[in-house]
Amino acid sequence: MSEISFSEPFALFAAWMKEAEASEVNDPEAVCVSSVDAAGRPSSRMVLLKAVDERGFVFYTNFESRKGTEILANPQVALLFHWKSLRRQVRIEGRAVPVDPAEADAYFATRARGSQIGAWASQQSRPLESRFALERRVAEFAAKFGLGKVPRPDHWSGFRVPPDRLEFWRDKPFRLHDRDIYIREGEGWARQKLYP
């Protein structure tokens, strides 16, 4: 393995994300997040990446949802970006940590008002007796907050995933794909090519 600077995989990710933003029709920031439950059963779902820097990859959710409770109980997660138009993917593994409340507040304030109300109204991942019940809860919270500021609910926040491993995959002819893996080593990274 070769030793490289700490910033290199993040710089490569930023370059790939910029290309994805130019070529993907919908949601280039969509990422599959995989967690596991207490029995070790995996669960995956799509979320939207909201920030990335050398501290890690950030997404937001209801901490009382299935993903929220699973990640709080076992913070080892995997993320997967797949950009079909570019024929590329990035796999990330790491230990999720909740973002600072001030960071969550700042992001929540940028959300559309309807999404802010929805964060209060949705009992995410729990049984819903009818669509009307959800719409009633939305109306109740819309009335509660009126025209004033909608504060962030305590149960709604973000996770940051500082990566331990990043794998960059590029499609090549005859399924002889390029695979580069970065593994965290102290303050830097070790990089290695993998067989396709």
Catalytic residue IDs: 175
Beta strands in 25-177 (DSSP E): 30-36, 42-48, 51-53, 56-62, 76-83, 88-95, 97-98, 156-161, 163-170
Written as six digits, the tokens of 68 are 């929220």
Q: b or e along 124-160 (b: 16 or more beta carbons within 10 Å of the residue's beta carbon)?
A: bbeeeeeeeeeeebbeebbeeeeeeebebbeebbbbb
CB 13 within 8 A of CB 166: yes
CB 9 within 8 A of CB 166: yes
Written as six digits, the tokens of 56 are 């890690």
CB 189 within 8 A of CB 183: yes
